[in-house]
Chains A and B, each alone.
Chain A
Amino acid sequence: KQEVTQIPAALSVPEGENLVLNCSFTDSAIYNLQWFRQDPGKGLTSLLLIQSSQREQTSGRLNASLDKSSGRSTLYIAASQPGDSATYLCAVKGDYKLSFGAGTTVTVRA
C-alpha cells in the first residue's frame, strides 16, 4: 500500500520568505504526482502535476521537483504572500488511485 508523508505538518513564515514543502512516498511505481492547495472549508485546487518521466514543473512562483527513485517531491513557493496561507497536499497516482499525504498547513505572516 502506498504511504505518503508530508513534513512538516505546519509551517509559519514571514511574508517574502521562500517556502519549501516536502513529500515522500514509499512505492516508486507511480504515474504522476500532484500538488494541491486546500483553503479552509473548500475543495482541492490542483497546483502542479508532474508526470513520472519528468523531474520538475513550474507555474509562476511555484516549482515542484520529483525524484521518483528516492520517493520524494518538493514544492517551492518563492516570495511567499499572505494569500499563500492554506494547506498544501501532495498526492501520488498509481493504478487510477490518488494516495494523499495529510498536508502541510502554511501560514504566511504579514
Chain B
Amino acid sequence: EAGVVQSPRYKIIEKKQPVAFWCNPISGHNTLYWYLQNLGQGPELLIRYENEEAVDDSQLPKDRFSAERLKGVDSTLKIQPAELGDSAVYLCASSLSGDNEQFFGPGTRLTVL
C-alpha cells in the first residue's frame, strides 16, 4: 500500500514569491492534516480536513496561507507571498478518520531566500 505522497520534496524561492505544496493521502483516508515543522521542533498542526471540509484551521495564518482539498482526496497548501520565516518543513498526514492513527508523508522542505 502506497504511503502519503508529497511534492515537491524541496523548494527554494525568493521572498514575496508564491509557493504551493501538494499532498496525496493514503487511499481511503478521510482525514488529512497539514503540519509545519521548524528546525529542532516538533510539528504543529496548520489545518485538518474531514473529507473536503476544513474542520480545524485555527492555526493557519490566513493572511498568506490557504489550503484546499477538492473532492476530498488530494490537497494543496499555498503561501502567497512567502516570507523568510516560512522556511520550514511542511508535512502532510492522513488517517482513516480523526480518531485513528496518523501516517505522515516525507515532507516538503521550503527555503525562502
Binding site for B on A (CB under 8 A): 4, 31, 34, 36, 41-46, 49, 89, 91, 96-98, 100-103
Contacts and interface: CB of A to CB of B under 8 A. Distances in A.
Given A43-B91, A43-B106, A97-B48, A31 B41 contact: no
A49 B43 contact: no
A91 B106 CA distance: 18
B107 interface: yes
A51 to B, nearest CB: 10
Nearest to B38: A102
B42 interface: yes
**9 tightest A-B CB contacts, nearest first:** A100-B42, A96-B98, A44-B104, A43-B106, A43-B104, A43-B107, A102-B41, A102-B42, A100-B43
A91 B4 CA distance: 19
Contacts of B102: 34, 46, 98
B62 to A, nearest CB: 18
B56 A34 contact: no
A45 B103 CA distance: 8
Given A42-B106, A44-B43, A97 B56 contact: yes
Contact of A49 (B44, B45, B101): B101
Contacts of B78: none
A55 B65 CA distance: 40
Contacts of A41: 109
Contact of A46 (B41, B42, B103, B106): B103
B105 A96 contact: no
A91 B45 CA distance: 12
B99 interface: yes
